[in-house]
Structure 1
Amino acid sequence: MAEHETTDEQWRRRLTPEEFQVLRRGGTERAYTGEYWDNHAAGTYSCRACGADLFTSREKFDSRCGWPSFYQPAAGDRVTYLRDGSAGMERIEVRCTRCDSHLGHVFSGEGFDTPTDRRYCINSLAMRFVEEESDG
C-alpha cells in the first residue's frame, strides 16, 4: 500500500498518539520540548512516519525559536508546500512528499544569515535523527 493510501487507523497503530497528532493532524509540539531543537550532532533527519530523508545537519541552524530549524531540505523534492490559514495567520505548511505527513512550516525574510533566508521550523516529533558514523 502506498504511504498516501494508509488509513488513519493504520497510522494510529504505527505512531504514538503525540506523533499522530503532529504528523497526521497538523499539530505542533511546544517550543523547547522536542528532542532535536538543540541537537548539534552531524547526521540526517528522516520523516518519522515513512522514513524519507528530509533534512541534514548541514542545513540546520540555531534560530532560537525552540524547534529544529533548517534553511533548506536535503533535496528539493523531499517536501511539499501548502498554504495554511489556520491560527489567524497566513503560513506555508511543509509536508513530507512521500507520505503527506505534516512536518511544520517555512518562513521567509526573517533576516537569518543563511544561504536562503528561509527557516523551516520543523517539529521534532515529525522526524527521526540518524547520527553520522565517525571515521575514527
Structure 2
Amino acid sequence: MTDNTDWKKTLTDDEYHVTRQAGTERPFTGVLLNEKRPGEYLCKCCGAVLFTADAKFDSHCGWPSFDRQSDDENVEYHQDNSHGMRRTEIVCKSCKAHLGHVFPDGPTETGQRYCVNSLSLSFKTEKDELVRG
C-alpha cells in the first residue's frame, strides 16, 4: 500500500499524521508507553517487527523507548534537520512509516534511545493478543 488514499482508509487521522506525515504524538499520551508485557512491537502500517519488549526501557521522555531494533532489522535511518535540530529519524524499512527518532544517550550498553510514537506501533503479546498503540 503506497497510495495516501489507501493509508487514510486504514489509519486514524492521528496515526496517519504521525506515520505518513512525520508527526509526533503528545508526550505521555501513548497507549504503549507503560506496556510491560513480553512481546513484539510491530509497525502500525505494515506489521513488520520493529522492536521487542526486552529492548524497552523507561526513559521518562514521554514516548516508548528502546535500546535497539529487533533482529529483523526493519528500522532504517535518515538525517532529519527539521525544526532547527540535527536528529536521526527512524522509519519502517518496509513501508517508510515515520516512527520517531534515535538518540545516542541511552542508558544501556548500546548507548541508543529509540524514541518511538505509540501511534506508529502495534504490540503483539507472547499470547498473540494485538494491542494498537
TM-score (norm 1): 0.90
CA gap 1:107/1:76 in 2 versus in 1, 3 angstroms: farther
Contiguous gaps of at least 5 residues in structure 1: none
- Spell out the pairing of 1:40-119 with structure 2 (5 A cutoff): 40-75=36-71, 77-108=73-104, 110=105, 112-119=106-113
Greater Cα radius of gyration, structure 1 or 2: 1
Describe the SS at the equivalent of 1:83. strand
Match of 1:126 among 113, 120, 125: 120
By how many angstroms is 1:58 displaced?
0.5
Residue number in structure 2 paired with 1:21: 17
Describe the SS at the equivalent of 2:70. coil
Question: Which deviations, in whole Å up to 9, do the C-alpha atoms of 1:54-80 show, x marking residues without a partner?
Answer: 001010011010100000000263111
2: distance between equivalents of 1:105 and 1:91?
7
Q: Does 1:9 align with 2:9?
A: no
2: distance between equivalents of 1:48 and 1:56?
15
Root mean square deviation, CA, Å: 1.3
By how many angstroms is 1:88 displaced?
1.2
2: distance between equivalents of 1:9 and 1:42?
34
Describe the SS at the equivalent of 2:89. strand
Describe the SS at the equivalent of 1:133. coil
AA in 1 matched with 2:68: Q
Describe the SS at the equivalent of 2:21. coil
Give me the identity figure in percent.
45
AA in 1 matched with 2:101: H
By how many angstroms is 1:87 displaced?
1.5
AA in 1 matched with 2:122: R
> Size of the alignment, in residue pairs?
128
Tell me which stretches of 4 or more aligned residues in structure 1 moved more than 2 Å. Answer: none
2: distance between equivalents of 1:132 and 1:25?
31
Contiguous gaps of at least 5 residues in structure 2: 129-133
